[in-house]
Amino acid sequence: MSLSVGDVAPEFSLPDQDRQVVSLADLRGTPVLLVFYPFAFSRICTGELCQLRDELATYTDAGVRVLALSTDPAPTLKAWREQEGFDFALLSDFWPHGAIAQTYGVFNDKAGMAVRGTFLLDADGRVAFTEVNGPGDAREQSGWKDAVAQLAA
C-alpha cells in the first residue's frame, strides 16, 4: 500500500549516479520531490524525466530538492544522466532490489521494478502530495507543480 498525505516518509540512504550516498534525513528542513520510475533509457521514463529537467526551475525556485529513484544500478544511471543532461540526482534502489520502493508502496515485485510513484515531502518529512501511476501510464506533472505552489504558500 502506498503512502498517504500526512504520513511520515520512510527514511532511506541510497547511492546516486556517482555512488555518493544521499540520505533523506540529511535533507530534513528542505522540501523534497521523490520521483520513482521503472527504468532508465525507457521511452516513457525518458519523456517524464526530460520534462522534469526542462521545468526544474519550477521546483528549485520553490526550494524543493528533486530526487529520481529507480531499481537501475548506479553505472546505468550515470550514463543516462550524462546522455540526457539531468541536473538532479538519480538514486539507485538496486540492492537490496527495490527495498525503498517497497517501503513507499511503489514496487512491482513481479516485474522487479518501481512503478511511477511521486511524493512531495514537506520540510518535516511528511507527505504533502502523492500520486501513483501504473506501468505505461505517463504522469501529468501539473499536479506536482500545483502541490509545490501550495507548499510554498
Cell of 102: 517497497
The overall average pLDDT reported for the chain is 96
What percentage of residues in the chain have a pLDDT greater than 90? 94
Residue 90 falls inside a structural domain: yes
User: Residues with catalytic annotation?
Assistant: 45
What CATH code is carried by the domain that includes residue 41? 3.40.30.10
Residue 50 falls inside a structural domain: yes
What is the domain extent for residue 133? 29-152
CB-hemisphere CA count at 13 Å for 140?
3
pLDDT at residue 1 is higher than 90? no
At residue 109's C-alpha, the angle toward residues 107 and 114, to 5°, is 30
Residue 16 falls inside a structural domain: no
Closest CA to 64 of 42, 88, 86: 88
Residue 111 falls inside a structural domain: yes
- The pLDDT tens digits of the residues spanning 3-61 come to 999 999 999 999 999 999 999 999 999 999 999 999 999 999 999 999 999 999 999 99
